[in-house]
Amino acid sequence: MMIHPKTFREEFEHATLEELIKERDVLIREIRRYETGKIPLDELLTFPSPDTVYHCNNLYLPELCYLINEKSKEEVEWGEKIMGIFRIIINTINKMARISAQQERYEYERKTGFKTCPSCGSSVNINAIRCKYCDYYFKRYSKSKRKAPTSIKREYSKEKRCPNCGKRIKARAIRCKYCKTMLK
């Protein structure tokens, strides 16, 4: 008994992707069998006729392909979500490892009194501003205690806000470069 294509789709809506692919392969096999003329004589006299079965299979196949497409999109979306979660976890672990390595390096430098130049790899005094071997300039930290930077902070000490537009300008500015207001 042949059913309407929408009913056929409803029948397979809750099937797994593997079941849908198997059913698609069966439909394709039946369509090819009819098109190549490999239908036994006893099937030619059955109801529904091979012509009707062929016609219905051609109507069912697009519905099945639509369902396969929807299921595969769902699986890809889930796969992308899972991969996104794994990326976040891996990035967090890498960040924690970098912070831990930085803290260990700073502790070692504080204990020994020497730091390693990132440019040439030589050991220099912890309070050095410049490497004496390769002229690399180090970032400045407080002289009392050298600590690992926990967050990046911009220095606004050399800047002020324009009283008219509120944008940041140089502290020594006479006129705002944005709104052209004259300052005191």
Reported as a single tens digit per residue, the pLDDT across 57-101 is 888 888 888 888 888 887 777 777 788 787 887 877 777 778 878
Please tell me whether the peptide bond between 48 and the residue prior to it is cis, using omega within 30 degrees of 0.
Answer: yes
Phi first, then psi, for residue 127 (nearest 5°) are: -90, 5
pTM over 0.75: no
What's the per-residue H, E or C state across 12-45? Answer: HCCCCHHHHHHHHHHHHHHHHHHHHCCCCHHHHC
Lowest mean pLDDT among 5-19, 23-37, 79-93, 168-182: 79-93
The domains of the chain are located at: 5-99, 113-153, 156-184
pLDDT at 21: 87
Burial class (CB in 10 A: 0-12, 13-18, 19+), 82: exposed
Query: How many other C-beta atoms lie within 10 A of the C-beta of residue 1?
Result: 4
Residue pair 169/181 in contact (Cβ under 8 Å)? The answer is no
